[in-house]
């Protein structure tokens, strides 16, 4: 029965991929997205049954090469990530029915529908892959389909740059994964995923390769620079899938390796913890200075991926130290945060797509006053903002609370240096949480409140109903997975000291109701209780130029973290006289240095170009020279095989 659900979902996604390539019509595209919606319903039943009963399906193996089978497998870890996919896809599918119609051509609309289904199918098959070969095949299909979606508008120079950046980074990711899997194959003699009962010192090379390979795809610092390029360039529905699901598929792959290792190394956990902490705090710091709504959300994804890696690092450290309960608390907290982030980040990207669609720009400075023009989108955006800011009783609060609990109970550690490290990373985690709250106060306030700052915002209207319904699904799931978080964890078999958010939610609703009732019934009968206009300190009328801007809101934090931003302020002045006493005009410029791009990526890219240009000189067009190259390559391979393989 469970196997049939998976086969049905795969068939639906394959059909949803093929149909738009054969027939060009709006009804075909609707059918395509309807099939992806159907697949998510089937996957929801499949994953829910495994997580609740613990029963694992048995898929038959299909021999396609000597010694290699096409096999699928699903344990509780895989089922959890299948559930994540099934939770995000419905909102994206329904949203895309209207959103895809804004593409420039009929061919572009159909191609986007087909690639969306292929992208979802590839991510599903990566999670269900039963061996390393199948994993890498569908990993590449996932990467190529998402690359083509990033390049949907190839006429744009921004999209070309984003696609090139993404292609380079995803190729590096695959290369490191290939090296990691090859080293595991040489060690075990099998391409199957299975327990690794070897000393951890032997697994150091696979760990490093897989940490870098999955880390690039997940977007941890310093491998994160493709995210702020790819997410703004991709259609918003695809950004929701990339941030909500694809980054978590990389998390799944890394967890699949770690959970199969019997003996973990302490330094692995320390490296993961430090990498996660740096990603979390730098992600939110860089997000604070952004004025592009989708790029801001991309940096926020880096922050949340850092929080997930932080939890994984805690799991490894506690596991090595023999604190099994804390290890499990950290691991479940990290996985729950991955699920929650999939919900609220997909919601925020869908809402951002609606705002960009209504205004025609991604610049936050051009927004303002949209709460009156797009009230439903504003409500959904508020739910996503409250969730990602980890405010109760939403889901983001519970998962971050679990990680804070793991930190608070870490006094059981015996190593004083480890305690110091955890105190430092706890401080970084707390700072990250506070800055994330400030970030989404800025984003929601500047975007939806006050007066429209441009004609783009003034002329904005609410998006079509299918786009609103697509936003509503993850918004409802954010609330439900927060209110019933304690019950969900118990249902899955985890007995942690998590507060009952349902009771807290009812208390908050009651308190808000009392405040509303008191305000409505206070004061003399018939007198107005709400002023039509905010007091303007004596000004006759409010004007958009009086409002906070995105840059103005972030300026204090930019000053505080100027060492991180590497702020450079320059100015030029022109004077009326030679004595330079009468000022005529001038310009001022503030440059925030792209540290990783200018210090790390650009020098490496320059070195690669230099080496490539020198190697290209070897291509002299003579056949004898190329035969010599082949002979040298074969001889080198024979020597390597004889002495090192």
Angle ∠(557,300,327) on CA atoms, nearest 5: 110
Lowest mean pLDDT among 5-9, 263-267, 537-541, 580-584: 537-541
Instruction: Give CA separation, 358 vs 30, 158, 322, 377, 380, in Å.
Output: 22, 21, 54, 11, 15
Judged against a pLDDT cut of 70, whether residue 536 lies above it is answered with no
Could you tell me how many residues make up the chain? Answer: 645
Q: How confident is the model at residue 640 (pLDDT cuts 50, 70, 90)?
A: confident
Q: How confident is the model at residue 389 (pLDDT cuts 50, 70, 90)?
A: very high
pLDDT of residue 539: 67
pLDDT of residue 523: 59
Q: What share of the chain in percent tops pLDDT 90?
A: 55
Tens digit of each residue's pLDDT (9 = 90 or more) over 585-609 = 777 666 666 666 667 777 777 787 7
User: Is 566 in contact with 591 (CB distance < 8 Å)?
Assistant: no
Tens digit of each residue's pLDDT (9 = 90 or more) over 316-332 = 999 999 899 999 999 99
Helix (H) or strand (E) holding 526: none
Q: How many CB atoms lie within 10 A of CB 510?
A: 10
pLDDT of residue 535: 64
What is the rounded CA–CA span in Å between residue 199 and residue 213? 22
Helix (H) or strand (E) holding 69: strand 68-70
Judged against a pLDDT cut of 90, whether residue 557 lies above it is answered with no
Tens digit of each residue's pLDDT (9 = 90 or more) over 89-148 = 999 999 999 999 888 788 889 999 999 999 999 999 999 998 898 999 999 999 999 999
pLDDT of residue 243: 93
What is the rounded CA–CA span in Å between residue 135 and residue 58? 18
Judged against a pLDDT cut of 80, whether residue 291 lies above it is answered with yes
Q: How confident is the model at residue 540 (pLDDT cuts 50, 70, 90)?
A: low
**Nearest Cα to 287, choosing from 389, 366, 386?**
389
Q: How many CB atoms lie within 10 A of CB 628?
A: 11
Judged against a pLDDT cut of 70, whether residue 73 lies above it is answered with yes
Judged against a pLDDT cut of 80, whether residue 69 lies above it is answered with no
Q: How confident is the model at residue 532 (pLDDT cuts 50, 70, 90)?
A: low
pLDDT of residue 248: 95
User: Is 306 in contact with 276 (CB distance < 8 Å)?
Assistant: yes
Q: How confident is the model at residue 471 (pLDDT cuts 50, 70, 90)?
A: very high
Helix (H, G, I), strand (E, B) or coil at 498: coil
User: Is 95 in contact with 467 (CB distance < 8 Å)?
Assistant: yes
Instruction: Write down the mean pLDDT value for the chain.
Output: 88
What is the rounded CA–CA span in Å between residue 313 and residue 279? 13
pLDDT of residue 407: 93
**Nearest Cα to 488, choosing from 619, 398, 410?**
398
Judged against a pLDDT cut of 60, whether residue 449 lies above it is answered with yes
Helix (H, G, I), strand (E, B) or coil at 277: helix
Residue 23 DSSP code = -
pLDDT of residue 152: 84
Q: Which long-range contacts (CB under 8 A, 24 or more apart) does 541-544 make?
A: 542/451, 543/451, 544/368, 544/450, 544/451, 544/452, 544/453
**Residues β-bridged to residue 588:** 571
pLDDT of residue 538: 66
User: Is 111 in contact with 11 (CB distance < 8 Å)?
Assistant: no
Tens digit of each residue's pLDDT (9 = 90 or more) over 10-50 = 999 999 999 999 988 889 999 999 999 999 999 999 999 99
Q: How many CB atoms lie within 10 A of CB 321?
A: 18
Average pLDDT over residues 212-218: 94
pLDDT of residue 525: 58
Buried b (16+ CB within 10 A) or exposed e, 11-35: ebbebbbebbbeeeeeebbbbbbeb
Sequence-distant (6+) residues with CB within 8 A of 68 are: 131, 133, 191
Higher pLDDT, 86 or 453: 86
pLDDT of residue 644: 60
Helix (H, G, I), strand (E, B) or coil at 525: coil
Tens digit of each residue's pLDDT (9 = 90 or more) over 331-357 = 999 999 999 999 999 999 999 999 999
What is the rounded CA–CA span in Å between residue 199 and residue 157? 50
């Amino acid at each position: 029965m469970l196997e049939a659900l998976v086969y049905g979902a795969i068939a639906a996604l394959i059909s949803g991929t093929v149909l738009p390539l054969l027939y060009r019509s709006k009804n075909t595209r609707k059918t395509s997205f309807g099939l992806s919606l159907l697949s998510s319903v089937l996957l929801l039943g499949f994953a829910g049954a495994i997580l609740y009963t613990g029963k694992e399906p048995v898929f038959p193996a299909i021999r396609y090469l000597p010694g290699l089978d096409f096999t699928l497998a699903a344990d509780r870890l895989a089922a959890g990530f299948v559930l994540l996919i099934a939770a995000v896809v419905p909102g994206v599918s329904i949203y895309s029915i209207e959103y895809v119609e804004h593409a420039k051509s009929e061919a572009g609309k159909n191609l986007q529908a087909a690639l969306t289904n292929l992208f979802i199918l590839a991510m599903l098959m990566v999670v269900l892959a039963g061996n390393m070969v199948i994993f890498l095949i569908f990993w590449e299909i996932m990467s190529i389909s998402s690359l083509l979606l990033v390049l949907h508008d190839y006429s744009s120079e921004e999209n070309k740059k984003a696609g090139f950046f993404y292609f380079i980074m995803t190729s590096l990711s695959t290369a490191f994964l290939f090296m990691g899997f090859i080293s595991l194959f040489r060690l075990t003699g099998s391409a199957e995923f299975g327990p690794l009962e070897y000393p951890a010192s032997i697994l150091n090379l696979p760990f490093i390769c897989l940490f870098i390979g999955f880390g690039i795809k997940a977007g941890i610092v310093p491998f994160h620079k493709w995210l702020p390029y790819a997410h703004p360039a991709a259609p918003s529905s695809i950004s929701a899938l990339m941030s909500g699901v694809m980054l978590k598929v990389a998390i799944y792959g890394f967890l699949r390796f770690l959970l199969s290792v019997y003996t973990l190394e302490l330094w692995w956990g320390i490296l993961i913890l430090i990498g996660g902490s740096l990603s979390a705090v730098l992600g939110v710091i860089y997000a604070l200075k952004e004025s592009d709504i989708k790029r801001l959300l991309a940096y926020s994804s880096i922050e949340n991926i850092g929080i997930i890696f932080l939890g994984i690092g805690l799991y490894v450290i506690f596991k090595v130290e023999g604190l099994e309960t804390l290890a499990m608390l950290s691991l479940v907290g990290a996985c729950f945060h991955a699920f929650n982030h999939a919900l609220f980040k997909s919601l925020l990207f869908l809402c951002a797509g609606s705002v960009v669609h209504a205004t025609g720009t991604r610049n936050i400075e051009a927004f303002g006053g949209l709460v009156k023009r797009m009230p439903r989108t504003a409500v959904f955006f508020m739910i996503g903002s409250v969730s990602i800011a980890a405010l109760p009783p939403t889901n983001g609060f519970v998962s971050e609370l679990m990680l804070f609990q793991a930190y608070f109970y870490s006094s059981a550690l015996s190593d004083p240096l480890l305690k110091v490290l955890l105190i430092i990373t706890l401080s970084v985690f707390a700072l990250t949480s506070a800055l994330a709250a400030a970030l989404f106060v800025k984003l929601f306030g500047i975007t939806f409140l006050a007066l429209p700052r441009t004609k783009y915002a003034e002329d904005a209207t609410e998006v079509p109903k299918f786009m609103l319904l697509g936003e509503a699904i993850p918004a409802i799931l954010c609330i439900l997975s927060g209110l019933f978080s304690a019950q969900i964890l118990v249902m899955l078999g985890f007995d942690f000291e998590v507060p009952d958010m349902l009771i807290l939610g009812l208390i908050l609703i009651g308190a808000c109701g009392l405040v509303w009732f008191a305000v409505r019934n206070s004061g003399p009968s018939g007198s107005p209780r709400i002023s039509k206009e905010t007091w303007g300190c004596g000004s006759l009328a409010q004007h958009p130029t009086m409002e906070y801007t995105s840059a103005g809101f972030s300026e204090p934090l930019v000053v505080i973290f100027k060492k991180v931003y590497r702020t450079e302020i320059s100015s030029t002045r022109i004077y009326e006289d030679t004595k330079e006493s009468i000022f005529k005009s001038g310009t001022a410029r503030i440059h925030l240095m792209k540290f990783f791009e200018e210090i790390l990526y650009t020098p490496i890219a320059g070195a690669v170009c230099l080496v490539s240009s020198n190697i290209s000189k070897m291509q002299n067009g003579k056949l004898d020279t190329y035969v010599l190259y082949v002979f040298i390559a074969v001889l080198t391979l024979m020597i390597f095989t004889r002495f090192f393989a």
